[in-house]
């Protein structure tokens, strides 16, 4: 078991390790003010881990109820959020009570935003069970729901009181979602740590899961502590994402999943920057082989022109500059401000 303390506007511990969920009631009891809580979870995760968690909490004197919603991104919606508010009200949840988010990033974002907004804010604990949630979304306090105009457009910064990441829960995570999380793990290696990149590039990552997760969370901790409200450094977490989002959008969110689109986005921007002399050392080959080793794609059959068009929003297309995240070496990211015309050349020529 390892503990990382995040010193943001609110300090909290991230407990990472095999079997830590078994001791959850103790950890949670130490940070919450009341013994009344609601577990928020989806219909895949609750049956596997929720029932046991509820029992453990009840044995420690907690009064627990559960709000279980259908799994998937479409539940990160105002409709489900409204149902959740209604549930919290029906359960007479007060300012001193809390929410426990048990599940992947969808659960964490939805439950976190409910916690940020219900009664102007109540405490919440993150128990991430997907790789993406353990290394990324459960730490840092970004919470949100989607609206028809776009993903994550309504949200709030709200740090959790505690994060418990039990690496054993990843044993039931379907491979496709595991691989998705690995896309973000490669990103952390590229932007911050060659050592982490090398660990992932070796290939047998399931033998080093705890080590990898701890390294990723520690990077996220440092970035969030420096720039909690996403005004500068935190932007480097978007490495690969501008083109990744463009791929997801071009494919109407029915093609490559997020982590895989980010994998391609990282490779495309790196090889383009190499080709245009922005990167002096040749690193795209290493990145490509790391992606392949981890069952991640590095190319997609979409014209560069379309990717460009879909990676800048309409307002930006003709005038502004765009911040592009480029890793000039493995383990170090730069925020490069380019006029849109230069960015267009970079992507399409």
Ligand X SMILES: NC(=O)c1ccc[n+]([C@@H]2O[C@H](COP(=O)([O-])OP(=O)(O)OC[C@H]3O[C@@H](n4cnc5c(N)ncnc54)[C@H](O)[C@@H]3O)[C@@H](O)[C@H]2O)c1
Least separation in angstroms between residue 277's CB and ligand X is 32
Nearer CB in complex with ligand X: 99/273: 99
Cβ proximity to ligand X, 41 vs 284, nearer residue = 41
**In the complex with ligand X, which residue's Cβ is closer, 89 or 176?**
176
Name the residue with tokens 């002399």. 277
Contact assessment for residue 264 and residue 179, using Cβ atoms and an 8 Å cutoff:
no
CB of 107 to ligand X, least distance (A): 5
Shortest gap between Cβ of 316 and ligand X (angstroms)? 22
Q: Using the minimum distance from each CB to ligand X, give the nearer residue, 134 or 284.
A: 134
Distances (CA, A) of 121 to 170, 250, 255, 261: 30, 37, 36, 34
DSSP per-residue codes, 270-302: HHHHHHTTS--S--HHHHHHHHHHTT-----SS
CB atoms within 10 A of CB 320: 13
End-to-end Cα spacing for the chain: 49
Q: How many CA atoms lie within 13 A of 129 on its CB side?
A: 25
Q: Residue holding tokens 């930006």?
A: 316
Beta bridge partners of 6: 12
Residue number with CB closer to ligand X (96 or 171): 171
CA distances from 182 to 38, 205, 292 (A): 30, 9, 11
Residues forming the site for ligand X (CB under 6 A) = 42, 44-45, 48, 71-73, 76, 103-107, 109, 129-130, 132-133, 136-137, 140, 142, 151-152, 169, 172-173, 177, 180
Show the tokens assigned to 99: 């929410």
Residue closer to ligand X (CB basis): 97 or 146: 146
Minimum gap (Å) between residue 257 Cβ and ligand X: 8
Q: Which is nearer to ligand X, 313 or 341 (CB)?
A: 313
Provide, rounded to whole angstroms, the least separation between the CB of residue 118 and ligand X: 18
Closest approach, Cβ 86 to ligand X, in A, equals 22
Interatomic CA distance for residues 268 and 241, integer angstroms: 11
Nearest CB to ligand X, comparing residues 76 and 215: 76
CB atoms closer than 10 angstroms to residue 32: 20
CB of 216 to ligand X, least distance (A): 12
* DSSP sequence for 302-325: S-HHHHHHHHS-TTTSSS-EEEEE
| Min CB(81)–ligand X separation in Å | 13
């Amino acid at each position: 078991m390892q503990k990382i303390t995040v010193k943001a506007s609110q300090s909290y511990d991230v407990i990472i390790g095999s079997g830590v969920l078994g001791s959850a009631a103790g950890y949670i009891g130490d940070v919450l003010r009341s013994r009344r809580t609601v577990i928020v979870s989806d219909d895949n995760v609750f049956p596997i881990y929720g029932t046991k968690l509820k029992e453990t909490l009840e044995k420690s004197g907690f009064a627990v109820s559960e709000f279980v919603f259908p799994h998937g991104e479409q539940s990160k919606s105002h409709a489900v959020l409204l149902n959740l508010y209604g549930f919290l009200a029906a359960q007479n949840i007060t300012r001193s009570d809390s929410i426990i988010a048990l599940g992947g990033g969808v659960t964490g974002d939805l439950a976190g935003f409910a916690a940020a907004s219900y009664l102007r804010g109540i405490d919440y604990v993150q128990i991430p069970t997907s790789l993406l949630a353990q290394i990324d979304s459960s730490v840092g306090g970004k919470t949100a729901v989607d609206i028809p105009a776009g993903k994550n457009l309504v949200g709030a910064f709200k740090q959790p009181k505690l994060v418990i990441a039990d690496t054993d829960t990843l044993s039931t995570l379907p491979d496709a979602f595991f691989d998705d999380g690995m896309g973000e793990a490669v990103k952390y290696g590229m932007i911050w740590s060659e050592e982490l990149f090398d660990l992932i590039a070796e290939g047998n990552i399931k033998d080093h899961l705890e080590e990898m997760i701890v390294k990723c969370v520690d990077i996220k901790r440092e970035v969030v502590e420096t720039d909690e409200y996403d005004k500068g450094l935190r932007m480097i977490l978007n490495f690969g994402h501008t083109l990744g989002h463009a791929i997801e959008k071009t494919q109407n969110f029915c093609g490559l999943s997020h982590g895989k689109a980010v994998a391609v986005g990282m490779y495309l921007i790196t090889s383009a920057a190499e080709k245009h002399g922005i990167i002096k050392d040749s690193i795209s080959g290493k990145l490509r082989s790391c992606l392949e080793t981890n069952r991640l794609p590095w190319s997609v059959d979409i014209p560069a022109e379309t990717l460009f068009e879909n990676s800048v929003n309409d307002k930006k297309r003709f005038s502004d500059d765009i911040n592009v995240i480029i890793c000039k070496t493995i383990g170090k990211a730069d925020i490069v401000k380019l006029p849109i015309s230069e960015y267009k050349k970079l992507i399409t020529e």
